[in-house]
A = this chain, B = another copy of it.
Amino acid sequence: MSQFHVYDTTLRDGAQQEGMNLSVADKLEIAALVDRLGVGFIEGGWPGAIPKDTEFFQRAGKELRFDNAVLAAFGATRKAGSEVGRDPQVRALLDAETPVITLVAKSDIRHVERALKTTPEENLAMIRDTVAYLVAQDRRVFLDAEHYFDGYRFNPEYALACANAAYEAGAEVMVMCDTNGGMLPTWLGEITAATAAALPGARLGVHCHNDTGCAVANTMAAVAGGVTHVQGTMNGYGERTGNADLTAIVPNLVLKLGLPALSGDKLAELTGMAHAIAEITNIAPQARQPYVGYSAFAHKAGLHASAIRVDPDMYQHTDPQFVGNDMRMLVSEMAGRASVELKGRELGFDLAGNNQVLTQVTEQVKDLEARGYTFDAADASFELLLREALGLLPSYFRVESWRTISEVMGDDGPGASEATVKLHAGDRRFVATGEGNGPVNALDAALRLALIEVYPELEAIDLVDYKVRILDTSRGTDAITRVMIESSAGSMVWRTVGVGPNIIEASWQALTEALVFGLIQLEVPVR
């Protein structure tokens, strides 16, 4: 019970959010990011119940190597009246082959009787049997006690009986869940204290939802009451109003309470990670999000501007650098030569002392970000920009023009897209027409067709991901579009970005940059 538990359920409970739809690849990518942050446990999903989650665990075993986290599978106790060894859901949990299994069980006697339609005794037996069975298979078992707080308020004896059943059968943690999210911190704090007093020495956990706007605070109240295992999701994703937001809880634990919530020293990457995860979920980050939001440390200038510059600590509750965010004065958009220099170094370009390039790139990034670009997740586009400023950008080809046509006959007829690209490469002019499932796919085909004779190395480059984000959504179809393309060649992976009011132009930009960067990576000379 030495280490404090931070338990991430973005992939399971967070994925319940309305409109969220994560692929297995998305989930693997998010898991890697959350592990990097230094969280102790990552819940991957509900194997057996959700086919995608079953696949996740199969692939996770082969593809994920965690530095910090332990993987957990989530599932229910055995069914009422069944034998635990023959329960297919329990079988699926074992098949997931995770060190930790988190079992959800009822702890509100009303839910036992009205939703589960079984007896209070059988529910206790279901907890006892399933925990013991899994512990005997060498699993660490955590119990998520559903509706714990509501249940405790109605019948504390029964809620505690569920907890006791779990602990006696070998569960490591009993997690008190505010499943409906209706708790206030004072209520939750009292129940936590009473529970801790009734179960001396047991490790207690908490799992909150934000229905009263108190999920983070409820979690903190539980910690104040003795809880040492907190569950939540990145960016507070989740059903209804969302789960407790780990991007606020973790810095609260570390910076405000000085608790050892993370392994390693990666809190300063929190903001970047939160945004990278938002890119994967394709849910626009909230500017007002605590700690990691774009506006979280933004101060209107004016009267206080000079005071803030002299003594920023008087006007901010913590140093934004601790979480990888920046203080911003809203008079002028800030870019930061320091971060450009840092990023350059990360990519292998020493810009220290090269003031002209530093200034130019900083200005350019500032300008582009104001127009909707983001280089958080598009290192390749940033490197191309840097290379251009340094005179290190090879000119592989020169585009004369391009055009796409998409048409459909009838109300629901089959559609067709084609694209024509005209360009110069290797001292020759190429005109190529490609067809595709859509205009961007057609452009990709035409561009490759036009270049392949001079640069056959392009065969090795695959586009593996294509994401679109509409910025400034208030403008309907006339909005600004940001396109992110992920490409790979062998084991190398890179991302490029394009922005503009025309989705096809934005895609074209990300597409050409993807190929140029790939050619550079493959060390192909200009021909």
Contacts and interface: CB of A to CB of B under 8 A. Distances in A.
Interface of A: 16-19, 21, 23, 25-26, 50, 110-111, 114-115, 180-182, 184-186, 210-214, 216-218, 220-221, 224, 236, 238-242, 245, 248-249, 252, 256-257, 282, 284, 286-291, 293-300, 304, 307, 310-311, 314-318, 330, 333, 374, 376-377, 398-411, 413, 415, 417, 436-441, 443-444, 462-474, 476-479, 481, 484-486, 500-505, 507-508, 511
A403 B416 CA distance: 9
A187 B114 CA distance: 40
A317 to B, nearest CB: 3
B402 A248 contact: no
Given A466-B477, A502-B437, A505-B406, A317 B182 contact: yes
A318 to B, nearest CB: 6
Q: Find the residue from A210, A304, A417, A504 having the highest chain B CB count within 10 A.
A: A504
B464 A289 contact: no
A477 B444 contact: yes
Label chain A's interface by main secondary structure.
Answer: mixed
Contacts of A407: 401-404
A438 B481 contact: yes
B377 A19 contact: yes
10 contacts: A23-B474, A111-B314, A114-B314, A185-B220, A284-B473, A403-B406, A404-B439, A415-B502, A417-B502, A440-B503
A187 to B, nearest CB: 8
A330 B23 contact: no
B217 A477 contact: no
Contact of A398 (B289, B411, B441): B411
Nearest to A438: B502
A16 B439 contact: no
A462 B479 CA distance: 13
Contact of A213 (B185, B252, B505): B252
Contacts of A333: 50
A476 B465 contact: yes
B441 A478 contact: yes
Contact of A240 (B217, B299, B511): B299
B415 A241 contact: no
A486 B475 CA distance: 11
Given A241-B288, A288-B210, A401-B410, A182 B18 contact: no
Contacts of A257: 184
A493 to B, nearest CB: 13
A417 to B, nearest CB: 6
A74 to B, nearest CB: 14
Contacts of A444: 476-478
A67 B26 CA distance: 52
A23 B241 contact: no
Contacts of A503: 438-440, 468, 503
A471 B415 CA distance: 19
A476 B464 contact: yes
Contact of A467 (B212, B417, B470): B470
A471 to B, nearest CB: 7
A18 B210 contact: no
Contact of A241 (B295, B411, B478): B295
Nearest to A463: B476
A221 B298 CA distance: 27
Contact of A16 (B221, B300, B473): B300
B441 A477 contact: yes
A76 to B, nearest CB: 10
A501 B401 contact: no
A314 B213 contact: no
Given A245-B213, A377-B19, A438-B504, A182 B221 contact: no
Contacts of A300: 16, 18, 239
Contacts of A240: 288, 293, 295-299
Given A408-B402, A408-B508, A296 B211 contact: yes
Contacts of A298: 18, 239-240
A109 B437 CA distance: 59
A56 B467 CA distance: 27
Contact of A217 (B110, B218, B289, B465): B218
Contacts of A481: 438, 468
Contact of A464 (B403, B471, B473, B484): B473
Given A317-B180, A502-B415, A220 B186 contact: yes
